[in-house]
Amino acid sequence: MNIYVNQMGYLPNSRKIAVFAITQSPDAPAPSISGKASLHTSEGICILEKEPVAFGFDEASGDYVFQMDFSEVTECGTYVIKWNDKTSYPFTVGTELYSDLNILLARALYFQRCGMELSAEHAGKFARPSCHTAPSVLWIEYEKFLAGKLTENDMQTFDIRGGWHDAGDYGRYTTAAACALGHILYAYRFFPDAFTTDLNLPESGNGTPDILNECRYELDWMLQMQAEDGSVYHKHTTLHHAGFVMPHEDTHQMLLLPTSSMAVGDFVGTMALASRIYRPFDEAFANRALTAAKKSYGWLEAHPEFLFEHIKECGTGGYGDRSDFDERMWAAMELYRATGEAHYLTDARTFFDKQEHPVQFGWADISGFAGWALLEDELMQTSDASFAGPDTLSSAETEFRIAYKELFCKEADHLLDVIASCGYGVALSPREYCWGSNLNVLNRGMLFGTVYRLTPKQEYHAAVVRQMDYLLGVNATDYSYVTGVGAHAFCNPHNRVPASDGIDETIPGFVSGGANGTRWVDPLAKELLPEGTPPMKCYADRWECYSLNEITIYWNSPAIFCAAFLDSVK
C-alpha cells in the first residue's frame, strides 16, 4: 500500500485529499484493509483520525484506491499521514506555498535563456556561458548549399538571438513559444497579485514586473522570427538535435525553417496580446508588437489556406498540426481586443464556428486563448478601472461571449465527471496519458480556474487544487513532477543542461512531461515499461526517456497559471 499526498502541501482553506493505493488486478476482490488513518504534526502529535473511504478500482493506475478528505486541517504546519504501518512523505499546510512554487517555475524559464551568459549573480552555481549567437541561414538556401548548388557565401545570414530553449533540446519553435507566452501573459492578466515578487533576473528592478521581464526575453526573440512579408518562421533550430553537450558547445548551423500558418496566427495572437500587457510599462515596445501583429495578420488574410511543410531532413521538433482555425481565431480575437475594430471580431467568430471544441490551451490547439481574450474583463475581476472592459457590447460580441461561456462551463462540468471517475482525482481519462500528459492535466487545471472566475463554485476551485496535487505527488508514480519540490521529486529530467553541467543538483522548478501510456515512446521507456503497464504508471525518472521525462517551457507555463490562480484565489 502507498500513501500519496501533495508533497509540497496544501493551502489552509483548500480541499485536501490523500490517496491510499493498493496495486491489484481489476477483478480481484476489494482488499481487506480498514481502520482509521491518522494525521500527525512534526512533533508527532496526532491531530486527526479518520477512516479512508474506498473509491474502488482505478483504471488509469491499476490500483484499488481509498481516499481521505482532511480539509478540516487548516492550521499551518508540517504533517504526515499514517495508515496501516505506512507513512506518507511530509507535507506542509501554508499560505505561501503556491507563490513560492511560482518563483521556482518562473525562474526555470530564466535557465532556458539562449543567447546570453547566465551570470553567477543570477544563476548561482548554474551559471553558464552564452550560446547560439552565430548567424542563422534559411533552410531553403541551406538545402541547396548541402546539395552543392550554393556556396556558403551566397547564403543570406540572419542575426537572430535570444529566446528560451524550448525544452531538453536547444531549439526554438514559434508555436511552442506562443503557447507558453499565452499561458503566462494571461496568468499575469488575470492574477497580477501573484506576480509581485522579484525573481533575481538581470532586469529586476526596472519597474516592470519580473514575470513580464522574463517573457520579454522570449518576445524579443519571437519578433525576430517575422519575415519581411509578414510570414513567420516555424522554427529556429539546428538540422538535428545537439548531443548531450552544454548549449555553448552546440555550434552547429542555426536554421530558419519555413513558415507555417500556425506560426503566423500564433505570432499575431502573442504580439497583439503583448501590446496590451506591456503598454503601461513600455509604450514603444507595445506599438512595435501591435504593428508586427497587424502586418502578419495581413499575411494571414492573403493566405487563407492551411500551410505547414514537414521538412523530413530536419530532425528537430516537428510541432505539426492539422488545422490552423484555432490560431487564426486567436489572432483575430487578440487584434479585436487590441484595436476594437469589429471586423476582427467577425473573423474570430467565423473561425469559432468552424471548430468542434475550441476550449484547449495546448501548443497544437490554442483555441481557448481566444476565449480568454473574449471574456477577459469578466475573468480579470479587477477593481482597476483602466483594465475594465467596454461599457457597451455589440450584439455580436454579447452573443459570442454567451456561446464561449457555455462551452467553457460545459467542458468544466464534463471534466468534473472525469475527476469523479478517477481514484486520484485527475481530470484525464485513461487514454489521455500521452506524451506530455502533464500538459493535459494542467490545461484542465487552467480551464477549471477560468470557469471558477465565471461561476465561483467550490468544486471548480477544488478541481484546480487536485490537478496540482496530481502534479506534486498524488499520482501513482510516487513522484512530484516538479524538480526540487517535495520529498520525492523527479531529478533526472531529459534536459541537456543538467545532464551535462557536471553539477549533481538539478535546476529546480522544472515540470516533467509525465506519464505516457501510448506506445509512442523512446527506446528505454519501451524496455522499462512492459506492455500493459497502467497509463498513469508509464513513467521513469531517467534522463534518457525523452518521451516520459523531458521538460518544456509550455509544461512550466500552465503550472505557472494554476499556481497563480491558487495563490490569488485562496
**Which residues form the catalytic set?**
169, 494, 541, 550
In whole angstroms, how close is the CB of 129 to ligand 9MR at the nearest point?
A: 22
In whole angstroms, how close is the CB of 440 to ligand 9MR at the nearest point?
A: 10
Q: What 3-state DSSP class applies to 524?
A: helix
Contact 485, 101 (CB under 8 A): yes
Q: Which stretch binds Zn ion (CB under 5 A): 123-131, 336-344, 432-440, 448-456?
A: 123-131
CA torsion angle 344 346 351 352 (round to 10): 110
Cβ-based nearer residue to ligand 9MR, 292 or 515: 515
Closest to 212 measured CA to CA, from 171, 233, 181, 236: 181
Closest to 222 measured CA to CA, from 261, 260, 173, 258: 173
Cβ-based nearer residue to Zn ion, 116 or 140: 116
Q: Which stretch binds Zn ion (CB under 5 A): 20-28, 66-74, 124-132, 267-275?
A: 124-132
Q: Which stretch binds Zn ion (CB under 5 A): 93-101, 108-116, 117-125, 330-338?
A: 108-116
In whole angstroms, how close is the CB of 555 to ligand 9MR at the nearest point?
A: 8
The DSSP string of 230-262 is S-BEEEEE-SS---S--GGG--SPEEEEEE-HH
Q: Which stretch binds Zn ion (CB under 5 A): 22-30, 130-138, 224-232, 279-287?
A: 130-138
Closest to 66 measured CA to CA, from 121, 4, 128: 4
CA torsion angle 244 249 253 256 (round to 10): 70
In whole angstroms, how close is the CB of 250 to ligand 9MR at the nearest point?
A: 14
Cα–Cα distances in Å, from 223 out to 130, 177, 305, 344, 503? 20, 11, 23, 22, 34
Which regions of 164-304 does DSSP assign to beta strands (E)? 172-173, 233-237, 254-259
Which one of residues 182, 247, 449, 558 is an interface residue with Zn ion (CB under 5 A)?
247
Place of cell 510570414: 231
Instruction: Please count the other Cβ atoms lying within 10 Å of the Cβ belonging to residue 563.
Output: 30
Which regions of 42-187 does DSSP assign to beta strands (E)? 46-50, 53-58, 63-69, 77-83, 86-87, 91-93, 136-138, 172-173
Grid coordinates of 29: 476482490
| Interatomic CA distance for residues 443 and 362, integer angstroms | 7
Residues near ligand 9MR, by CB under 6 A: 166-167, 169, 171, 317-319, 435-436, 546, 550, 552
Q: Which does 131 bind (CB under 5 to 8 A by kind): Zn ion, ligand 9MR, none?
A: Zn ion
Window 416-455: contact mask with Zn ion (x via CB under 5 A)? ----------------------------------------
Cβ-based nearer residue to ligand 9MR, 318 or 430: 318
Q: What one-letter code names the amino acid at 140?
A: I
In whole angstroms, how close is the CB of 201 to Zn ion at the nearest point?
A: 17
Q: Which stretch binds Zn ion (CB under 5 A): 246-254, 262-270, 376-384, 432-440?
A: 246-254
Which one of residues 132, 216, 276, 349 is an interface residue with Zn ion (CB under 5 A)?
132
Decide: residue 23, CB within 10 A, 0-12 exposed, 13-18 middle, 19+ buried: middle
Q: Which does 60 bind (CB under 5 to 8 A by kind): Zn ion, ligand 9MR, none?
A: none
Cβ-based nearer residue to Zn ion, 250 or 411: 250
Closest to 112 measured CA to CA, from 513, 496, 480, 481: 496
Q: Which stretch binds Zn ion (CB under 5 A): 75-83, 114-122, 343-351, 463-471?
A: 114-122
If one asks whether residue 114 binds Zn ion (CB under 5 A), the answer comes out as yes
Q: Which does 435 bind (CB under 5 to 8 A by kind): ligand 9MR, Zn ion, none?
A: ligand 9MR
| Interatomic CA distance for residues 323 and 325, integer angstroms | 6
The DSSP string of 16-68 is -EEEEEEE--TTSPPP---S-EEEEETT--EEEEEPPEEEEEETTTTEEEEEE
Contacts of 77 (CB under 8 A, 6+ apart): 41, 42, 92, 93
Cβ-based nearer residue to Zn ion, 109 or 131: 131
In whole angstroms, how close is the CB of 399 to ligand 9MR at the nearest point?
A: 34
Cβ-based nearer residue to Zn ion, 132 or 444: 132
In whole angstroms, how close is the CB of 271 to Zn ion at the nearest point?
A: 22
Q: Which does 436 bind (CB under 5 to 8 A by kind): ligand 9MR, Zn ion, none?
A: ligand 9MR
In whole angstroms, how close is the CB of 145 to ligand 9MR at the nearest point?
A: 24
Q: Which does 469 bind (CB under 5 to 8 A by kind): ligand 9MR, Zn ion, none?
A: none
* DSSP-assigned letter for residue 153: G
Which one of residues 5, 131, 412, 465 is an interface residue with Zn ion (CB under 5 A)?
131
Cβ-based nearer residue to Zn ion, 256 or 489: 256
Binding stretches for Zn ion (CB under 5 A): 114, 131-132, 247
